[in-house]
Chains A and B, each alone.
Chain A
Amino acid sequence: MDLDFSEEQNMLRETTRAICDQHYGLEAVRDCEENEQGYPPAFWQALVESGLTALTVPEDFGGVGLGLLDAVVVFEELGRTLSTSPLLSSSILAARAIELLGTEQQKSRWLPLIAGGEVVISCAQLEEGGSYDERGVTLDCFDNHLNGSKTLVPYACTATHFLTLARERGSGQIVLALLAADSEGIDARRQANIASSPSYQLTFTDAKVETLFSAGDESWPLWQEAMSFAAVTLSAQASGSAEQMLNTTAEYAKTRVQFGKPIGQFQALSHTMAELAVEVEAGKTLAYQAAWAQGAGCAWQLLAAQAKLHAGETIRRTTKDGLQIHGGIGFTTEADPQLYYRRAKQLQLEHWDAEYLERRIAGLLLDSDSETSIKFAE
């Protein structure tokens, strides 16, 4: 047993941190809340040039071929500085889904483009009602054309393509439809939201599919596997954000003086922060364990769901208590805590919310016939 990262992984962390520091940072986060793109173009360029968009794409398809644990390292760092971008949607979720569902030919066509950053894929999953369940997917796919709408589609403004969960008319089977973002028949409406992130409602009217991915009955479980993969990276991102929020809060508590002493001396506050520290450490380790198990070929999807549930709760609690400890200043836009606070809820609800995760975890744990565990591959 060895819980240390390798030298290469430590270097990967340094590289990511340097890119975030140089091209993103909390001032850029503020600027991005105001502009349409939602992330600095130079940041994305740096991700591409350093190979981070190719990180977990297999070498045979133009990627670097590293594993989920390596991605976890990257996403912890991204989370620390709130350096969000389409990286998760394109290089993690979409790439993984295509790898799992695609034919050799489809993989050869799309994965190298994703790895090289030449295409940026946004995943369109949720529909009205916001259900992560299979029955939540109703968007109609017939004769290679889509009709229906999706909600909470991230980065639709800069994506070159949409990977859209749809239901094949007739068979009723789940399919993944890839469309060029500039296809006719796609209407995108920006959705203002708590995290000021570029989120869109998409309406498809006879929009033409470029590539259709289908594995028959296996499409849904494979999509869930891709979601599990991405859930681990999102857990790491949330843990990175939570750790940074906690550190910022602890630093503030060391310098802010009330009643003649630094407020960090008051146990009402220091004990709260100690509890948060335990949750943050546990959350990080859970994500490591899930990522390691995935790479080692052990059962890992239960761990992935547990990691996401835990990380979501932890970022929520860390930002809530962290803001409280900052007092009034934390509430102001001039201070940083509010940036973390607003994104915390997004990290918690996106990419499997707690309601869905509880059912999924119970399903995997109890091996019951709940919808989440039916046809499950493990």
Chain B
Amino acid sequence: MSSSLYLRFWVPWVFSALIFGSSILPSHADALAEIRQLGVLRWGADAEGGAPYVFHEPAAPDKLTGFEADLAEALAARLGLRAQMTQENWDMLVPALKQSSFDIILNGLERTVENSSRVDLTRPYLVYQQQLVTLAYKTNVHSLKDLAGQSVGVLSGSVSLKVLQEHPEITARIYQGNAETFRDLKVGRLSAVIVDSPVAAFFAKPDPTLRLAGDGFAVGFYAIGVPLGETALRKAIDDALVQLLADGTLERIYQHYGLWGPEQEQLRTFHEESVTKAAPLSFGAEAGRYLPLLLRASLTTIGLTLAGMTVAVAVGLAVVMSRLHGPKPLQWAAIAYTEIMRGTPLLIQLYFIYYGLAQQLGLRLSEYLAAILALGLNYAANEAENYRAGFAAIPKGQWEAAAALGMGRWLTIRRIILPQAFRLVLPPMSNDLIAMFKDSSIVSVIAIVELTKEYQIRANDTGDYLGLGLLTAGLYFGMSYAASLAMQRWERILNHDRR
């Protein structure tokens, strides 16, 4: 089930891992010439919760806005091209660049050693800092030192995460988007968030419930990413950026979004040498070092799945009992539950349970509880249908024999029907268990680091998408296969009478 989710979360990774694997051989095609021929500069960015970088205007949702949207327009105009944005998850931008669905990355890409080893970076177009943001009333928080033992939210794959990784005393919660970090900060699940200064300027400064804690730190540069070896394209963009800076276009754009400050003067004095290039990592080089981390994340995946499946079985049983043997209203409720839960996406159910309940009802579930409930309640609909089929497969004569012996309905169900139905539904249950191992990767959207998320983080750190990807896939396969063997064994035990 939920194979679409599975596809959505896994396929891009494996795909990009393969592509990265093949990209070890540099391509010598001239991207700039191709772009000029088409007349379109396709820039990759994540407009989902992407303010103030690039986002859909609330008043006109089909129109893009943000300082990077403006910059892309200006840049393309300067190059005699038309700008066209391509949507991609932010932490997927670097691995996806080679898929050629877009030509450049223009979306808060930091000039870091890691990034520069995977894409070629232009000169910077914005100077940014890390900014700690907390709730307005938490006036005693001034820096990370004040947050030991507390939870702090950061964006997946960001420099903010790297900053936090140097503070093991702080619990890092890793999010897919800035909007979610602020949401959890406001409902009280986080003590603070670390964001890039443009985010802080846009979200936190105008919000009276939030406060910028302390000054910015860890100055960094945003640069445009072009595919490795595309020197002509990079030079053309570099030249265009210099011109946009010189003629005041950049300043005008940044002023509009409240981002211009004296620190941006560094853009003028920037020299290429100030970032050293890390040697590109080869396939599998980091696998051994990261195995323990991935194994630990596997435990999270296994724990979530086993707990989720327990909820699914218990709720599924309750639902099928209500449907088959409950009074009329309960039967209707059971049917409605089944249809709604299997007819709506797990992702939305997860958001509803984690964010919806917290915001609307003040029911602040922990991320793990929310994840287990979402997985369990979603799969319960499947389990209920499995069990219904299992019950239907028990011959009527079994009910009659039990009734003739004076056994009541519930005694018959418990002693005669359930044990026989259970072994019939074990194979489909095994299926669901294995599916849940993989579906559980979706809970990374509520900032749980399970196996897939750990892989994403480490692959981003190291650039070893293929090696770590194979390792991660192997771990998934290992747990699925182990589950399959265990269920088969259980099946054999339950079928002792049929030997």
Q: Do A and B bind each other?
A: no
Interface residues of A (CB under 8 A from B): none
Interface residues of B (CB under 8 A from A): none
